[in-house]
Amino acid sequence: MKAAASTAGLISCVIVALNAAQPATTAKAAGSIRRLDGSTISIADAESFAKKTLEQAHVTGAQLAVLDRGQLVWSAAFGLRRVDPPLPMERTTTTWAASITKGVFGTYVTQLVERGEFALDTPLAAQLPKPIDAYDEYRESASVLANDPGWPTVTPRMLLAHTSGLGNLAMFAPDKKMRLHFKPGTAYTYSGDGLNLVQLAIEQKKGRPLDQLIQDRPGLLQGRTRRRRAELHDLLRAPSGLHDRVDQQR
């Protein structure tokens, strides 16, 4: 989350794009893909459409995967994962997860709630052992937020639903400060900082960093090999340039 701060759409396919080229690698588990409306498209047509669309958008490299009822139907990689030196994108290339980790994190939080280990509707400030601006990482960025009368009313549910009033990331604000832009719970604004605050509360409560907590949670990483678990650990903690580091280890 914080290290791979904040979501790509996941309906019948997942697209992770980096910034047009020939497919690098392709895996075909079926001859056609079933669309949401029940119609089908051939793998060849899907590949042609993807290639054309990525070229038109000047996307340097992308990974695509289509799943149907939990089963992989088709996956492919296009273009480059790195321009200089030119390295092809592959289906196994580990890319920066960024906001895609929000889905994993949200699932983890709901599991905690179901087990009675975390409260969605208790204000976050009340779940922290000390004021938000007493934490070194938030001493400056939360100095305004800590004194806002609306802050004590902000709940994890609001933060997870992006209705807390917080902006996306304080790093983008002119003064680098987090602040509430509307009354908590009354509107929607996408906020990466919001989920980072929920992460802080959980780490304080559990006494361990998020990447360790998630790897220990049964089901979230079901079916992953030890190596893929290690890669997720790196994705959550230090996403920048991870794919290059993994390449060097191969």
Question: What average pLDDT does this structure show over 192-215?
Answer: 93
Q: Quick one: pLDDT at residue 123?
A: 98
Count how many Cα atoms sit within 13 Å of the Cα of residue 142 in the half-sphere of its side chain. Answer: 18
Give me the amino acid identity at 60: T
- At 214, the pLDDT band (50, 70, 90 cuts) reads confident
Top-tier CATH class for 102-215: alpha beta
Residue 113 and residue 134: Cα distance in Å, rounded? 26
Distances (CA, A) of 43 to 1, 40, 75: 34, 9, 10
Distances (CA, A) of 113 to 6, 157, 190, 202: 21, 11, 22, 11
Residue 193 and residue 171: Cα distance in Å, rounded? 10
Instruction: Count the Cβ atoms, other than its own, within 10 Å of residue 97.
Output: 22
Question: What average pLDDT does this structure show over 69-77?
Answer: 89
Question: What average pLDDT does this structure show over 128-138?
Answer: 96
Per-domain boundaries in the chain = 9-93, 102-215
The secondary structure of 202-229 as a DSSP string is HHHHHTS-HHHHHHTSTTTTTT--HHHH
